[in-house]
Amino acid sequence: MTPIVVAAVLAAALTHATWNALAHGIRDQLLAFTLVGSGGALCGAALACFAPLPAAGAWPPLLFSAALHVVYQALLMRSFRMGEFGQMYPIARGTAPLVVTVLAAVFVHEMPDGWQLAGVLLASAGLVGVALWGLRGAGRSPETASGAAASGAADAASGSGAAASGAGGAASGSGSGAGPQWPALTAAVCTGLAIASYTVVDGVGVRAAGTPLGYIAWLMLLEGLAIPAWALLTRRRALVAELRPVALRGLLGGALSVLAYGLVLWAQTRAPLAPVAALRESSIIAGAAIGALFFKERFGWPRTAASVLMVGGIALMLHGT
């Protein structure tokens, strides 16, 4: 990877952590991702007006990726509603690099060299460390717990799911951290598998498209419409009433999501998929710091050590280029 590709992916990582934090800061997660999706769709529509159309061969992976992104967003909503940001975000992002490495080798025939593979493994070790710290159930602050409980209760009251399901989400959110948050952790791991899947699919699609800008425009336009459409069908009145105080924050998150993923797609046209995916997950460092600074979650020495391992992994990957 060239320095400009590295800089682009690191900028994408910081931007991605920022928009995830904006979404997590909105208690009603369906409302949050409705706004993020709307912002992304608006940006996609604007870009599609002047960006070239992707080549015909890019449309099957583009459409498949749009569906995978919707699954990813639904899982991410669930994990954010049930667990703390600084815990769920690293697990969701950290599951992806090793899976991307395997999928890229099998389907795209990209085999990382020794340095790159060592970097991916070291970075993934740091991410696993964050996940294991999360399994201890440590670090839930009263503020985070009460916020998650309020989100679960709000979802139940507004009719976004069955009453028992909403109560379960509230109960999970209101836990004191005495044990692992298994439903939230499961959702976060599944989120990571979805990330790995769409990363490889998009790597194939954007290379076939002939235009990274056109590919990201249509991808964001198509995927961004799904959750807002579902929200309007199921919770229109409640969402409209709650929209105004958080509209700007959510729409900004959507615009940042387009920028973050656009940078990654551009990088995937100029570097192998696995190192790009692993480098992108340096966002866990920013995510953990944001969780500590803005959501009053503990950073802790395990997350510090995991961040050091992540930086070491990045250095190894860069050494191999």
- The whole-model pTM stands at 0.76
Token digits for 191?
Answer: 């989120």
Q: Is the dihedral of CA 43, 46, 51, 55 positive or negative?
A: positive
CA triple 291-295-297, angle to 5 deg: 65
b/e map of 240-258 (b: 16 or more CB within 10 Å)?
A: eebeeebeebbbbbbbbbb
Q: Which domain holds residue 57?
A: 3-319
Q: Choose between 252 and 161: higher pLDDT.
A: 252
Q: What is the pLDDT of residue 130?
A: 64
Query: 3-state DSSP call for residue 49?
Result: coil
Q: What does the pLDDT look like over 287-311, one tens digit per residue?
A: 777 777 777 777 677 777 877 887 7
Q: What does the pLDDT look like over 175-204, one tens digit per residue?
A: 444 455 678 778 888 998 999 999 999 999
- The terminus-to-terminus CA distance of the chain in angstroms comes to 6
- In contact, 314 and 120? CB cutoff 8 Å: no
- In contact, 250 and 42? CB cutoff 8 Å: no
Q: What is the pLDDT of residue 211?
A: 94
Q: Choose between 102 and 116: higher pLDDT.
A: 102
- In contact, 108 and 272? CB cutoff 8 Å: no
CA triple 141-142-144, angle to 5 deg: 65
- In contact, 249 and 26? CB cutoff 8 Å: yes
Q: What is the total residue count of the chain?
A: 321
Query: Within 13 Å of residue 25, how many CA atoms lie on the same side as its CB?
Result: 22
Calpha distance 87→288 (Å, rounded): 8
What is the number of structural domains in the chain? 1
Calpha distance 197→191 (Å, rounded): 10
* Amino acid letter, residue 167: A
Task: Please choose, from the candidates 201, 278, 249, 259, the residue with its C-alpha nearest in 3D space to the C-alpha of residue 16.
Answer: 259
Q: What does the pLDDT look like over 14-34, one tens digit per residue?
A: 998 898 888 888 888 889 889
Q: What is the pLDDT of residue 179?
A: 54
Q: What is the pLDDT of residue 137?
A: 53
Q: Which residue has the tokens 């995916």?
A: 277
With DSSP H G I counted as helix, E B as strand and the rest as coil, what are the percentages for the chain, rounded to 5? 85, 0, 15
- In contact, 304 and 100? CB cutoff 8 Å: no
Token digits for 131?
Answer: 């996940």
Token digits for 245?
Answer: 């105080």
Q: What does the pLDDT look like over 114-151, one tens digit per residue?
A: 888 888 888 777 776 766 665 565 444 434 444 433 34
The proportion of the chain whose per-residue pLDDT surpasses 70, expressed as a percent, equals 81
